[in-house]
Amino acid sequence: MEALDGNSIGGPLLELYGQDMTAASGTCGHCGSVSRIAELRIYAGPGKVGRCRSCGDVNLVLTSIRGQLRITFRQFEMVSQGAGS
């Protein structure tokens, strides 16, 4: 399965948060690597899974449940919004 970059979930994140979240940074809880959401590897299936580029651990899961978007951050602690950078 081919991975996309985190920009591919920019639209749904904008819908959820009302602002561009692809520039937001976070730390992988598994390996400690810091990256922007735009740098995650995104794999699509019934939902979308964002994996750390360094270690491959699942950092986020984006799903639609009964037509409502939901995101779960797993092993990804947000560190900054990244606005203006």
40-78: pLDDT as tens digits: 999 998 899 999 999 999 999 999 999 899 999 988 998
Three-state secondary structure string covering the chain: CCCEEHHHHHHHHHHHHCCCCCCCEEEECCCCCEEEHHHCEEEECCCEEEECCCCCCEEEEEEEECCEEEEEECCEEEEECCCCC
In this prediction the pTM is 0.85
pLDDT at 79: 86
**Domain assignments of the chain as residue spans, ordered by start:** 4-79
The Cβ of residue 19 has, within 10 Å, a number of other Cβ atoms equal to 11
CA distance 33 to 15: 27
Helices and strands in the chain, H and E counts = 1, 8
